[in-house]
Chain A
Amino acid sequence: MRKSWLRDYIIKRLIYAVIIAWAIVTITFVLVRAGPSSPADRYLANMTASGQDVSQIVEAIEARYGLDKPIYEQYAEYMVNLFHGNLGWSFSTSMPVIDLLKNHWIYSFQLILLSSIFAAFVGILVGIYSAVKQYTKTDYIATFFSFVGISLPNFWLGVMLILVFSVKLGLFKTYYDTTLPLFSLDNLKALVLPVMTLGTGMLAGYVRYTRSAMLDNLRKGFVTTARAKGLPERTVIGKHVFRNALLPLVTIIMFDLGSIVFGGAYLTEIVFGIPGLGQISFNAIFANDYPVVVAVTLIGTFLVLLINLITDIAYTYLDPRIRYD
């Protein structure tokens, strides 16, 4: 293999990732179980109102779900189950956590995917154009709009879009319709507002980062060399400058992706009522359904770790000077 050290590096990173994931799961577990509430709480209100003997029933519920055992036993049980791929049972929805996830991941996935593609495509192109035409009116406008884009509170944008396009203009429905088949045009239409909401912030970021990465490279020596060779300008910009700009660009994008996208997707799902993983975990938190919370955290963590690893590997191909020895 051309880069033999790469294989060792990947193995090291995977081990590292597992350790971090374990640490995070443990912390989440402890946090959730350390709280004063328990899954039995949602029954409490009803029970007290009907004058039943609360404590006995609570005990019974807790025994059923294994919540009366000491915490380290619960933890051990959970980890063992996890090892076997069993993510537990969701109290609030009465189904295995894995099934719950299976039913809902696709909604998050399509939202994030479409938003990312939209944002990346438009954002990078505008960023390149803006950098090449620095100091022109177009550049100023693009820069200003990118500031606006990253400053708009994501959830407010969603509400505003609903206000304008659904309530006042009636072009879209106010809530995401889950009965639509996934690969239909109607579904796409229903996703327009959510994608715009999530995508705008991402797009603005892409414009900014691409522009700054391109600007850093536009005045470098090899650009003059490329022009002196008689290469057409689009090759100079597209091949020489952009390839070098990719490195810092990818860095910042991946850095952002983990934090902003997941936070933003979370909020977008809540605003539009999209039943993705964000919405699920949100409901689970309010229902004290800890297996779901831990499971979603785990997924989020793994994705971030995976993205980081892929980025670091991509680096070595983008910049041949980088080695992980």
Chain B
Amino acid sequence: MIERLQHMAKKVGRPLYGNRRLISYYWERTRRNKLAVFGIAFILFLILLGVVGPFCTMDPTMVDFEKKNLPPVGFTAVKSLYHIETDELTTTEIHGTWKHPLGTDSKGRDMLAMIVSGARVSLLVGLIATGIAILIGTVIGVLSAYLGGWADNVLMRFTDIMMTFPFFLLLVLIVFIFGPSLAFIVLVIGLTGWTGTARLIRSESLSLRTREFVIAARALGASDGRVIFRHLIPNVISLIIVIATLSIPGVILAEAALSFIGLGDPTVPSWGIILEAGQHSLDTAWWVAVEPGIMLFLTVLAFNFLGDGLRDAFDPKSNV
């Protein structure tokens, strides 16, 4: 009888944990969602870009005023020059070249290199900041649900306060005061974005807490830590995965928005910074604004597709 209970607590309480059959089951369900597959494909492409790209492209910070404002390959732009000596305005057509396939910006920096560098930044920010936020959120959520009582109260009041703070304003404030270094930005985004996760994890943990397998484990004498780590957390893993995937776009956009309003790290070309520069040269070099935006858009879209697909795959009630 005791062995049966032990066996049950072990098996039932660890759905994804090393359970290969389950992982492939969820993978199958996700695969059927074409949009999610596109999402995965694009993310892989992005990772490739970010990891391998910088070795294949030029230095994104290399300035070359001779070659400024080149359009992308296949496009033509009009360059007007005012000659002071002759008081003439000459207009010449310039064409894109394969040397700078995506064109150059107003300082002659290669767009492709900058986009690649931006991919790196966005991926790093996305993964690390989300990682921090999810970690904090999960810990607070699980603790809050499990400990209950005044600990729960205090933690939730704290979460409420953080939640009510206008997120973006807080971000701007902190970054402005303490300086726009990339590492710091990542840290700050992570430290301010955990509130939603905490709430969701807490409510899921609360409902799990009263489920039979937890009661069974405790009846067998499992300590609090053991119950949390081997029973509660593995069950919320699927929830965590979905939350993480759906949080990454928000984080990437937050960094891009910060860069856009001028609070980004000036030493690292990120998509937001490029966009900001592009905003001012819309009539002469529209591609500077369009390219980073498209990348941002596709990245966010990819993560949203994937996150949605994962959520449907994990939900037993949806028929995929």
A–B contact via C-beta, under 8 angstroms? yes
Interface contact tally, CB-CB below 8 A: 113
Report if A24 contacts B (CB, 8 A).
yes
Interface pair A147/B305, CB less than 8 Å apart: yes
Interface pair A259/B172, CB less than 8 Å apart: no
Report if B278 contacts A (CB, 8 A).
yes
Report if B102 contacts A (CB, 8 A).
no
Segment among B112-120, B206-214, B249-257 that sits at the interface with chain A: B249-257
Residue from A152, A262, A293 within 8 A of B168 (CB atoms): A262
Distance of A286 Cα from B262 Cα, bound (Å): 10
Q: Which residues of B contact A150 (CB under 8 A)?
A: 304
Report if B301 contacts A (CB, 8 A).
yes
Distance of A233 Cα from B76 Cα, bound (Å): 56
Report if B160 contacts A (CB, 8 A).
yes
Distance of A159 Cα from B305 Cα, bound (Å): 24
Report if B73 contacts A (CB, 8 A).
no
Segment among A41-49, A50-58, A242-250, A294-302 that sits at the interface with chain B: A294-302
Residue from A34, A263, A305 within 8 A of B164 (CB atoms): A305
Interface pair B178/A35, CB less than 8 Å apart: yes
Interface pair A156/B297, CB less than 8 Å apart: yes
Give residues 163-194 of B contacting A (CB, 8 Å): 163-169, 172-174, 176-178
Residue from A32, A34, A153 within 8 A of B256 (CB atoms): A153
Nearest CB to that of A255 among chain B residues? B196
Nearest CB to that of A24 among chain B residues? B165
Distance of A222 Cα from B16 Cα, bound (Å): 37
Interface pair B167/A293, CB less than 8 Å apart: no
Interface pair B257/A31, CB less than 8 Å apart: no
What string of 1s and 0s marks CB contacts (under 8 Å) between B269-297 and chain A?
00000010011001100100110110011
Interface pair B164/A304, CB less than 8 Å apart: yes
Distance of A162 Cα from B168 Cα, bound (Å): 24
Distance of A109 Cα from B264 Cα, bound (Å): 28
Give residues 127-148 of A contacting B (CB, 8 Å): 147-148
What string of 1s and 0s marks CB contacts (under 8 Å) between A245-271 and chain B?
000000000000011001100110011
Residue from A154, A271, A285 within 8 A of B172 (CB atoms): A285
Report if B121 contacts A (CB, 8 A).
no
Give residues 26-81 of A contacting B (CB, 8 Å): 27-28, 31-32, 34-37
Distance of A36 Cα from B167 Cα, bound (Å): 22
Report if B35 contacts A (CB, 8 A).
yes
Q: Which residues of B contact A154 (CB under 8 A)?
A: 253, 257
Nearest CB to that of B317 among chain A residues? A216
Interface pair A286/B164, CB less than 8 Å apart: no
What string of 1s and 0s marks CB contacts (under 8 Å) between A5-43 and chain B?
000000000000000100110011001101111000000
Q: Which residues of A contact B233 (CB under 8 A)?
A: none
Report if A155 contacts B (CB, 8 A).
yes
Interface pair B290/A258, CB less than 8 Å apart: no
Report if A91 contacts B (CB, 8 A).
no
Interface pair B165/A36, CB less than 8 Å apart: no
| Between-chain CB contacts (< 8 Å), 23 pairs | A20-B160, A20-B161, A24-B164, A147-B35, A147-B305, A150-B304, A151-B304, A152-B300, A156-B275, A156-B292, A159-B275, A159-B278, A160-B293, A262-B166, A263-B167, A263-B257, A267-B260, A267-B261, A281-B169, A282-B172, A285-B173, A300-B166, A300-B169
Chain A residues with CB under 8 Å of chain B are 20, 23-24, 27-28, 31-32, 34-37, 147-148, 150-156, 159-160, 162-163, 167, 174, 258-259, 262-263, 266-267, 270-271, 281-282, 285-286, 293, 296-297, 300-301, 304-305, 308
A-B complex: 3 closest residue pairs judged by Cβ atoms: A35-B177, A156-B293, A263-B168
